[in-house]
Amino acid sequence: MPIEIKTGDITKERVCAIVNAANSSCMGGGGVDGAIHRAGGPTILKACKEVRRTKYPDGLPTGEAVATTAGDLPAKYVIHTVGPVWGRCGDRCDELLANAYRNSLKEAVKLGCESVAFPAISTGIYGFPAERAAKIAYRTVREFLREHSGLTVVFVFHSESSRRIFESSIAPISNP
Ligand code: ADP
């Protein structure tokens, strides 16, 4: 399975698209979102404003994804998606997180990308339990890749400890 797991800064990934764990305003924020806008420069925000003006005047709904330029980043595109806020997603938390991954993957395919890198969506400020998020992320990506050969997915963790949590959480489900 073309899945890579690594520790690092997603803004440095030389892939076709990196995914941003954005908020519905799409106007930047903290965490990985802030890092992407800082490293990518103002053209990303400009493109996000255009997305808000044209496609999503009320903001990007949770679980949806939209692509913009990656500005000065080594990637070509940033795919902005909004994960669920733990504690505010009722009984739809798992489904909404899976949607965020799946819709981002669909955007990557639409863009003709062969590689896409994900941060651990919703597990920072949005408070989604990391172990649970890991299983959902892995299952959703694996299922998508079964029908889209030629796409490589990189999971990028900001710390060794979050990478280890991911790996141990998916261990029981990663063997065929
Ligand atoms: P959310 O609001 O969806 O929870 P956050 O940005 O707060 O998003 O966190 C998502 C994950 O991204 C967290 O695990 C956080 O440690 C991680 N993260 C933060 N900065 C970076 C970065 N530069 N590269 C990769 N991952 C990052």
Alpha carbon of 151 to ligand 1 centroid (Å): 23
Q: Which residues have C-beta atoms less than 6 Å from ligand 1? A: 9-11, 21, 31-33, 35, 83, 119-126, 156, 158, 162
111 Cα–ligand 1 center, Å = 24
Q: 117: closest CA among 22, 17, 33, 31?
A: 17
CA 126 – CA 23 distance, rounded (Å): 10
Q: What is the pLDDT of residue 176?
A: 59
Residue 157 CA to residue 47 CA, distance in Å, equals 26
Q: Which two tokens stand for residue 27?
A: 């106007």
How far is it, in rounded angstroms, from Cα 11 to Cα 167?
A: 22
pLDDT given at position 7? 98
Predicted pLDDT of residue 72: 98
Q: Rounded to the nearest whole angstrom, what is the distance from the C-alpha of residue 126 to the centroid of ligand 1?
A: 10
Q: pLDDT of the chain along its 176 residues, tens only?
A: 799 999 999 999 999 999 999 999 999 999 999 999 999 999 999 999 999 999 999 999 999 999 999 999 999 999 999 999 999 999 999 999 999 999 999 999 999 999 999 999 999 999 999 999 999 999 999 999 999 999 999 999 999 999 999 999 999 998 65
How far apart, in whole angstroms, are the C-alpha atoms of residue 14 and residue 94?
A: 29
Classified by CATH at the fold level, domain 3-170 comes out as: Leucine Aminopeptidase, subunit E; domain 1 (3.40.220)
In degrees and rounded to multiples of 5, residue 50 shows phi and psi of: -65, -40
pTM of the model: 0.98
